[in-house]
Structure 1
Amino acid sequence: MRLVQLTVPTGRRETILETLDDRGIDYVVTDEDSNRDYTAVVYFPLPSPAVEGVLDELQEAGIDDDAYTVVVDAETVVSRRFEVLREEYENGDVESDRISRQELQSEAESLTPTFAVYAIMTVISSVVATAGLLLDSPAVVVGSMVIAPLIGPALGASVGTVIDDEDLFFESVLYQIVGIVLAIAAAAVFAWMVRVTNIVPPGLAIGDVDEISERLAPDLLSLVIALGAGVAGIISIATGTSVALVGVMIAAALIPPAAAAGIAIAWGQPSAAVGSTVLVLVNVLSVNLAGLLTLWYAGYRPENLFSLGQTEERVRRRVVGLAVIVLVFAVFLGAITYSSFAVATFEENARGEAELVLEDEEFAQYQLLEFEVVMDQEYPFLGPERVVVTIGGPPGEPAPGLADTLHERINQHADDPVDVEIRYLGLVEREDNG
């Protein structure tokens, strides 16, 4: 529910009150004596879905942008006529749950801080995320998402497009570009300082840190996070609900991958930064695409109906452009996903071959103690570099031909030759004389 406060221009009082009466809207009118071009102030409650239509109609009746129109939340309205009005507008569909176009624009603008604050908070969140990744601490990484100021620009571009506010659109796009660059640069500088000062152990392999490695080789499921964040973000602001948790979700799609890219650059592995950088870009584009489609589906249109055709064409072009770019990046992520699947399949098959070899009568006295596939660290398309097989058996040397057999059988499942390292442990059985 909303309470609308409206200043009535001179000569428009009767027209405006007749409009409210025709709609069955309760109102209170007070005289205005500020010696300006307004004769009264009218207050009236409205169901949230009715705000946009009523304000548009009042604007046609003579309310221009110079008049004051204030829309605030109303906790409770006790009125029989209001209940009838609410039943008229709240019919359970998507459009009946959303806030007005005017409120949406104000909400989108309020979610974006000043540029200085935005830049500082982005740098801080990126640095915190970098520390969390290097510490392999999910809790610290989540903390970095909470302070990231990304939800405003991420959703502002979509809002600006559908309501024909190009200033909001271009400002949001600029903020997003600057945010990505700042996040990666801040992460790279901080990670480099950490490395050269030996705050982390010298020789640390970033691929061995789980929180980092999973973002250096992202898979196709990462798209689900970004698309879900875009839809949830738009729904949260369009329905007037809290956006704090949704902001964390959007930051989850952007800040940790940007920090991972910065770490890879600081470690002198630019190829390792490719996957995480692509992940940041595809997530940004996916959030914008999902937000744009959700807003249009929710029924938001520009204020000026004469610009509706132009806006529809603009939305169509941007949706197609975003979809094509996202699809190209999705193919790249799909290739990484397939590479990960191929590695997992190889590991399963190679382990199976090792077990089958040791089940042969010739090698029945040996047992498989440990099996490990060592990756080549060629991000983002990882592949098996060598296989380490730890075998236990009678003291002494293993049977001749065991290593060659394992090497041959395991490499049957590899696209490229893989080294097979055999580690043999002699096992001694102790008799229990007790």
Structure 2
Amino acid sequence: MLHLRLITPSEKTDEVVLLIEKTVGATHLVVLPDAARNPAGDVVMCDVAREAGDELLAGLRELGIDTSGSIAVETIDLSLSDRAEKAEADAPGEGADAVLWEHLSDATHEESTLSVTYLAFLTLATMIAACGVVLDNAILIVGAMAVGPEFGPLAGICTAIVQRRPRLALRSTNALLVGFAVAMTLTVGFSLFMDAVDLFSEQQLKADRPNTGFIYAPDWFSFVVAVLAGIAGTLSLTSAKSGALVGVAISVTTVPAAANAAVALSYGDTKQTWGSTEQLLLNLLAITIAGTATLLTQKWLWSKQRKRANVL
């Protein structure tokens, strides 16, 4: 269930209340006249089944509540109410299958913004992965994958394509490209420093690396795994199962590939630099394709389900 807290101009409250009352899956409606001060207006609260949330939010935006008032949405972890159970039963579809497009757009907007924190995490992840590839240490590679924040901008690009939001696409692409450029540049410097203090060596990079050699040798398995990870990551975002993102993060070799390319570049190893760059681009492309296809499929399936429910 979702909890909505609205601030509505007094002249629009009746329309908002009528919309909520007509929404199948909405319950626990509360109206507090003149309770809001900034902005001034009425406070309207209700609970709604997740599968009915997107339709209600779209209706509220059509009424202009997001510009003339306020719309706040929270997830209810526990609701002990027969009315809530009935609302969830009446709402068409399953809550786990529903996509809250406004929530997805907001989440990807935050995760795909080029910020100092984002650059710091991506750079640190790339440097950790650099240590992993030189030492041929799989544990460090997995740790670097988990730290890397690159799935946020990738999800932002997928969402922007499906929702036709060019600004989100531009912001996400900028965060992705600039982020990796900065992280790889700093990692080249980090590699040179580690070599200067005799912690890295060219011999380690060029030695047989059974645990990490795949990073600069992309193949069809790399593409398949990235596609599967892209689907899983997108589903975890749309179904609010964020815990699955950890599994996605350690399934693809974006950050390790960037790290291997940076270290190889610091030693002038063009073969590994190019192979790692191919691996990076292949993973980014596969995740974007898979994520976009997943969102389009979810959108189509949900619209078919809604039409079937309206007919019944």
Normalising TM by the smaller chain, what interval? 0.7 to 0.9
Indicate if the aligned counterparts of 1:206 and 1:212 stay in contact, CA closer than 8 A: no
> Any conservation in 1 of the 2:260–2:272 contact (CA below 8 Å)?
no
Deviation at 1:212, TM superposition (A): 4.2
How far residue 197 of structure 1 moved from its aligned partner, in angstroms, is 3.6
Hey, what's the Cα distance between the residues in 2 that align with 1:291 and 1:11? 42
Query: How far apart, CA to CA, are the structure 2 residues paired with 1:120 and 1:35?
Result: 40
Matches within 5 A, 1:287-298: 287-298=287-298
- 1:65 aligns with one of 56, 64, 67: 67
Seen in structure 2, the aligned counterparts of structure 1 residues 201 and 265 have a Cα distance that, compared at 3 Å, is closer
Partners of 2:202 and 2:169 in 1: CA distance: 45
Deviations 1:213-250 (A, max 9, x none): 32222221001221122111111110111154145236
Give the match's secondary structure for 1:70. strand
Q: Percent identity?
A: 23
How far 1:189 sits from its partner (Å)? 2.5
- Partners of 2:144 and 2:68 in 1: CA distance: 42
Task: Give me the whole-angstrom Cα distance separating, in 1, the residues matched to 2:171 and 2:140.
Answer: 30
Matches within 5 A, 1:358-369: none
Structure 1 segment 207-356 matched on structure 2, within 5 A:
207-243=207-243, 244-246=245-247, 248-249=249-250, 252-299=252-299
Aligned length: 298
- 2:88 alignment counterpart: 86
SS in 2 for 1:153: helix
The whole-number CA distance in structure 1 between the counterparts of 2:103 and 2:300 is 11
What's the CA shift for 1:156?
0.8
Deviation string 1:128-147 (CA, Å, 9 cap, x unpaired) is 11111111111111111222
Question: CA contact under 8 A between 1:98 and 1:240: conserved in structure 2?
Answer: no
2:102 paired residue number: 102
Q: Structure 1: where are the runs of 5+ without partners?
A: 302-434
- Distance (Å, rounded) in 1 between the aligned partners of 2:61 and 2:268: 60
Preserved contact between residue 225 and residue 253 of structure 1 (Cα < 8 Å) = no
Aligned mates of 1:81, 1:241 — CA distance in 2: 25
**CA offsets 1:43-68 (integer angstroms, 9 cap, x no match):** 11111111110122233345342311
Residues 202-211 or 71-80, more deviating: 202-211
Structure number with higher relative contact order (C-alpha < 8 Å, ≥ 6 residues apart): 2
Q: What secondary structure sits across from 2:4 in the alignment?
A: strand
Q: 2:253 is paired with a residue of what secondary structure?
A: helix
TM-aligned CA distance change 1:62 to 1:189, over 3 Å: closer
Q: What RMSD over aligned residues (CA atoms) do the two structures have, in Å?
A: 2.5
| Distance change in 2, residues 1:186/1:62 (3 Å) | closer
Greater Cα radius of gyration, structure 1 or 2: 1
TM-score between the two structures when normalised by the length of structure 1: 0.63
Cα gap change, 1:300/1:64 in structure 2, threshold over 3 Å: closer, same or farther? farther
Aligned to 1:75: 77
Does 2:155 correspond to 1:155? yes
The amino acid that maps onto 1:134 is: V
Tell me which amino acid in the other structure corresponds to 1:293.
Answer: A
Deviation at 1:293, TM superposition (A): 0.9
Q: CA deviation at 1:108?
A: 1.3
Q: Which amino acid in structure 2 is aligned with residue 151 of structure 1? A: F
Matches within 5 A, 1:370-389: none
Amino acid at match of 1:274: W
Name the counterpart of 2:178. 178
Tell me, in whole angstroms, the C-alpha distance in 2 between the residues paired with 1:238 and 1:136.
35
Partner amino acid, structure 2, of 1:52: D
Scaled by the length of structure 2, what TM-score is found?
0.86
Aligned match of 2:304: none
